[in-house]
Structure 1
Amino acid sequence: MKIAVIGCTHAGTAAIVNAAKLYPDAEITVYERNNNISFLSCGIALYVGGFVEDPNGLFYSSPEKLVELGVDTKMEHEVLGADLDRRTLLIRDIKGNKEFEDTYDKLIITTGSWPLTPPIKGIDLENIVLSKNFDHSNVIIEKSDKAERIVVIGAGYIGVELVEAFRHKGKEVTLIDAEERILSKYLDKDNTDAAEAALKAEGINLALNQTVQSFEGTEGKVSKVITDKGEYETDLVILCIGFRPNTGLFKDQVEMLGNGAIVVDRYMRTSREDVFAAGDSCAVIFNPTDSSRYIPLATNAVRMGTLVAKNLMEPQVRYMGTQGTSGIKIYDLNIASTGLTAAAAESEGLIVDSVTIEENHRPEFMPDFEKVRLTLVFEKESQRIVGAQLRSKIDLTQSINTISVAIQNHMTLPELALTDFFFQPHYNKPWNFINQAALAGMDKV
């Protein structure tokens, strides 16, 4: 059996490692156009800010490790074409500058995603850079060391983490976003207000509800960002606007969403026989709405890549879907979310309500304790939980994983309110704050 894998970041690495173990007699070939694999892009801000000094720690595998597993690992090889009817691939050896064709019995598409680069006037100026892979991180570090003023465009997780990292290095930083709030896809206004206040307190300029119209330059290098509401002088611009699936090779050959995300079933099968896909190139099943949507997260990727290997010969392990669970640390605030905000749920046509509690995380007779703020979003009629957000100065973010499981299993407020959690005064109260939030939701209903 010939297994061909296109792309080797998180999903590809997981698929290859598991397939090599499950099918030792298979001939596995991976084509990767970069010279490295498994880079954790979520660590770019930590690397840029100097919190991580050795970037090698941001890789959890290597081409050498794949070779040890018996995988034919072809680095710096770009797949130029894929004919799914003929089961053939056209590949270019980038270093050798030659092309050749290969065939497969099973194809695994893990081509990932690429940052959005809108056609803004002046976007080709020097010192306007992306933030996605290891090469980008090195470019950002090199250029930011020489820059005094830095503009980050896009107030999602990557953008927010980068502005904090740049400010930690003493830079003058501006964060621009077209939305009225940072992290608006993940958090409601109460939490984004707190996060924005933390950034402003450290001297970060927030230019929100503004659309970038153009870039101006001096001697070919960017010097100014022009929005519909202002102008911002800068030495460096980082684009963090979002990502698109890297699936152009398969257009009109497999079923896709409108943005190009490949649609897969719960066994990672595409609409074509013996063609599987995983990771940022795919749509995922979003449990709060039971629909396919694009949520490019490393956690989704490694799970999906693992499932590809386990289901390669026959459907065995079913994909349980995702809640888009995520977390972020903004100075002394620990914030995590799962599922939908109330506003997002309503935009999806769900009839929901929400409840927010603020509670000490452990008994007041203990020497110290911290406030935790927890919001639950739930359907009014069924009381099914569809989202949650947590904020605290002490790190309690793992609690959001518990609520993620609750959403995945379609739990209701009464079920979560009476779920068995341990009590120990060092850690919590007899009624855990998750229980308390669900009880408050029941009272509100």
Structure 2
Amino acid sequence: MKIIVIGCTHAGTAAITQMAALYPEAQITVYERNDNISFLSCGIALHVAGVVHNAESLFYSSPEQLAALGVQTKMLHDVISVDTKTKTVVVRDLIREVTMTDTYDKLVVTTGSWPIIPKMDGMDLDNILLCKNYAHAQTIIDRAKHAEQIVVVGAGYIGIELVEAFEQLGKQVTVIDNTPRVLYKYLDAEYTEFVEEEMKQRHIRLALNQSVTAFAGVNGKVNRVMTTAGEYEADLVIMCIGFRPNTGLLAGQVDMLGNGAIIVDEYMRTSCPDVYAAGDSCAIRYNPTGQPAYIPLATNAVRMGTLVARNIIKPTVRYMGTQGTSGIKIFDLNIASTGLTEQAALDAGLLVKSVTINDNYRPEFMPTYEKALLKVVYQEATGRIVGAQVLSKADLTQSINTLSVCIQNRMTMEELGFVDFFFQPHYNKPWNILNQAGLQAYVQKFNKVKI
């Protein structure tokens, strides 16, 4: 069996290592256009801030390690076309500048995503940077040494983590986003107000509810960012407005969403026989809605890559979908979310209610304790849990992993109220905060029942 893998980051690395172990007789060839593989881009902000001193520690595999597994890894090889009818790929060797054709029995597409780059005046100015790979990380660190006023465009996870990193380096930071709140996609307003207040106390400028319209510069280098609400001085700009799936190779050959994300079934099969896909190039089933969605997360990627290996011969292990579960630490705040925010649920046309618990996370007789803010969103008619968020200076983020399981298993708020959780004063109260949320929803429902 001859397997070709295109791309080798999270999903690709997971698929390759598992296939090499499961099918030692297979001939596995990997084509990667970059000069490195398996870079943990989620560590870029930590590297910029100096928390992670050695960027090489953010790699978790190498061509040498794959070679030891019997995998032929061809770095700096760009696949320029795929023909699924003839089962061929055309590859450009970027070093020798020659083109070749290869054939496959099974094709695994793990081409990932790339930052969205808007078309506007001034985008070609120097010091307007992207944030995705190892080279980007090194360039950001180098340019930040000589920058004082830094603008981050995009207030999602990556943008906000970079804002924190630059603030810790003593820079004057402005964050611009076209939504009314930071982390709008992940958190409801009662959470983002905590984050925004922390940012304001650190003199970070929030330029929200406005869109970048152009960049201006002097001598080819950016010095101003223009928006729909004004303009901001900047000697370094980082673009973090989102990602787009890298799927042009299969355009018109497999089913995709409107944004180009490849649609795969529960066994990671595309609509074309013998073509599999995983990671940021794919759409996957989003359990809160039951519909395909584009959710580029490393956790999704490694699971999907592993499932490609398990299912490439025959359907064996199905994918259970995703809740888009994620977490972030901003300053002293530990934050995590899963599933739909209340705003996202309403925007999707779901009839939902929510419960918010604002309580100390452990008994007040303990020497110290912190406030915890937990919100659980659920369908009004059935009580089925569809989303949750938590914020505290104490690390309670694992509670969101628990609620992710609840969403995946279609649990209700009533069931959550009576789940068996341990009690130990070091960690929680006799009624766990998750139990409290379930019980509060149950009481609200009971009080509505006429006796």
Query: What TM-score do you get using the length of structure 1 for normalisation?
Result: 0.99
User: Could you tell me which residue of structure 1 aligns to residue 223 of structure 2?
Assistant: 223
**SS of the residue aligned with 1:283?**
strand
**SS of the residue aligned with 1:146?**
coil
The 2-side partners of 1:9 and 1:406 are apart by 30
**SS of the residue aligned with 2:356?**
strand
**How many residues are treated as equivalent by the alignment?**
445
Q: Does 1:385 align with 2:385?
A: yes
Q: Report deviation, 1:302.
A: 0.3
User: Could you tell me which residue of structure 2 aligns to residue 255 of structure 1?
Assistant: 255
Q: Which runs of 5+ in 2 are unaligned?
A: 446-451
Aligned residue type for 1:433 = I
The 2-side partners of 1:444 and 1:197 are apart by 32
C-alpha RMSD of matched pairs (Å): 0.7
The 2-side partners of 1:177 and 1:238 are apart by 12
Which aligned pairs between 1:142-221 and structure 2 lie closer than 5 A?
Answer: 142-221=142-221
Which aligned pairs between 1:3-22 and structure 2 lie closer than 5 A?
Answer: 3-22=3-22
Q: Which runs of 5+ in 1 are unaligned?
A: none
C-alpha distance after superposition, 1:134-165 (max 9, x if no partner): 00000100111111111000000000000110
**SS of the residue aligned with 1:314?**
coil
Q: Report deviation, 1:366.
A: 1.7
The 1-side partners of 2:332 and 2:230 are apart by 30
The 2-side partners of 1:92 and 1:35 are apart by 14
Question: Relative to structure 2, which stretch is displaced further, 423-432 or 99-108?
Answer: 423-432
Q: Report deviation, 1:254.
A: 0.3
Which aligned pairs between 1:31-110 and structure 2 lie closer than 5 A?
Answer: 31-110=31-110
The 2-side partners of 1:199 and 1:42 are apart by 21
User: Could you tell me which residue of structure 1 aligns to residue 449 of structure 2?
Assistant: none
The 1-side partners of 2:393 and 2:152 are apart by 26
Q: Report deviation, 1:57.
A: 1.4
C-alpha distance after superposition, 1:185-234 (max 9, x if no partner): 11000001110111111111110011111100100011100111111111
Q: Report deviation, 1:427.
A: 1.3
The 1-side partners of 2:86 and 2:384 are apart by 47
Aligned residue type for 2:79 = V
User: Could you tell me which residue of structure 2 aligns to residue 234 of structure 1?
Assistant: 234
The 2-side partners of 1:250 and 1:235 are apart by 39
The 2-side partners of 1:170 and 1:366 are apart by 36
C-alpha distance after superposition, 1:59-109 (max 9, x if no partner): 111111101100000011000000000000000111111110000000000
User: Could you tell me which residue of structure 2 aligns to residue 374 of structure 1?
Assistant: 374
**SS of the residue aligned with 2:61?**
coil
The 1-side partners of 2:369 and 2:403 are apart by 22
Which stretches of structure 1, 4 residues or longer, exceed 4 Å deviation after superposition? none
The 2-side partners of 1:304 and 1:407 are apart by 19
C-alpha distance after superposition, 1:224-245 (max 9, x if no partner): 0011111111101000000000
Which aligned pairs between 1:418-433 and structure 2 lie closer than 5 A?
Answer: 418-433=418-433
User: Could you tell me which residue of structure 2 aligns to residue 443 of structure 1?
Assistant: 443
Q: Does 1:24 align with 2:24?
A: yes
The 2-side partners of 1:193 and 1:361 are apart by 20
Q: Report deviation, 1:126.
A: 0.7
Aligned residue type for 1:12 = G
Q: Report deviation, 1:349.
A: 1.4
Aligned residue type for 2:372 = V
Q: Report deviation, 1:56.
A: 1.5
The 2-side partners of 1:215 and 1:43 are apart by 28
The 1-side partners of 2:443 and 2:374 are apart by 16
Q: Report deviation, 1:444.
A: 2.2
- Percent identity, please: 63
The 1-side partners of 2:66 and 2:253 are apart by 29
C-alpha distance after superposition, 1:337-367 (max 9, x if no partner): 0000111111111100001011221122222
**SS of the residue aligned with 1:424?**
coil
The 1-side partners of 2:444 and 2:296 are apart by 35
User: Could you tell me which residue of structure 1 aligns to residue 264 of structure 2?
Assistant: 264
C-alpha distance after superposition, 1:350-389 (max 9, x if no partner): 1000010112211222222111110000000100000000
The 2-side partners of 1:180 and 1:422 are apart by 39
**SS of the residue aligned with 1:214?**
strand
User: Could you tell me which residue of structure 2 aligns to residue 357 of structure 1?
Assistant: 357
Query: What TM-score do you get using the length of structure 2 for normalisation?
Result: 0.98
Aligned residue type for 1:435 = N
Aligned residue type for 1:67 = A
Q: Does 1:282 align with 2:312?
A: no
